[in-house]
Amino acid sequence: MSTDTKQLILRLAENASPVQPLARPYTRAAAWLALSVSYIVLVLLIMPSRHNVSSLLHDHLFIIEQSAAFATGLAAAVAAFASVIPGYCRRWILLPLLPLVVWLASLGPGCVHELFQFGIGGLSLTHNPWCVPFIVLLGAMPAIAMAAMLRRGAPLTPHQTAALGGLAAAGLANVGVRIIHPEDVSVMLLVWHVGAVMALSALASSTGRYIFNWRSVSRISA
First to last CA, the chain: 31
| pLDDT at residue 139 greater than cutoff 50 | yes
- For 59, other C-beta atoms within 10 Å of its C-beta total 14
The residue type found at 123 is: L
pLDDT over 90, % of the chain? 20
Q: Is the dihedral of CA 195, 198, 202, 204 positive or negative?
A: positive
Q: Are 151 and 85 in contact (CB under 8 A)?
A: no
Structure pTM? 0.76
In tens, the pLDDT along 162-179 reads: 889 988 988 888 888 877
Q: Which helix (H) or strand (E) holds 100?
A: helix 97-118
Q: Residue 107: name the closest of 175, 185, 195 by CA.
A: 185
**Which pLDDT band holds residue 86 (cuts at 50, 70, 90)?**
confident
Tell me what the mean pLDDT of segment 72-94 comes to.
90
User: How far apart are the C-alpha atoms of 75 and 65, rounded to whole Å?
Assistant: 15
Q: Is the dihedral of CA 185, 189, 194, 197 positive or negative?
A: negative
In tens, the pLDDT along 146-159 reads: 988 988 888 888 88
User: How far apart are the C-alpha atoms of 122 and 134, rounded to whole Å?
Assistant: 27
User: How far apart are the C-alpha atoms of 13 and 9, rounded to whole Å?
Assistant: 6
Enumerate the domain spans of the chain.
21-221
In tens, the pLDDT along 110-132 reads: 555 555 555 555 445 555 555 66
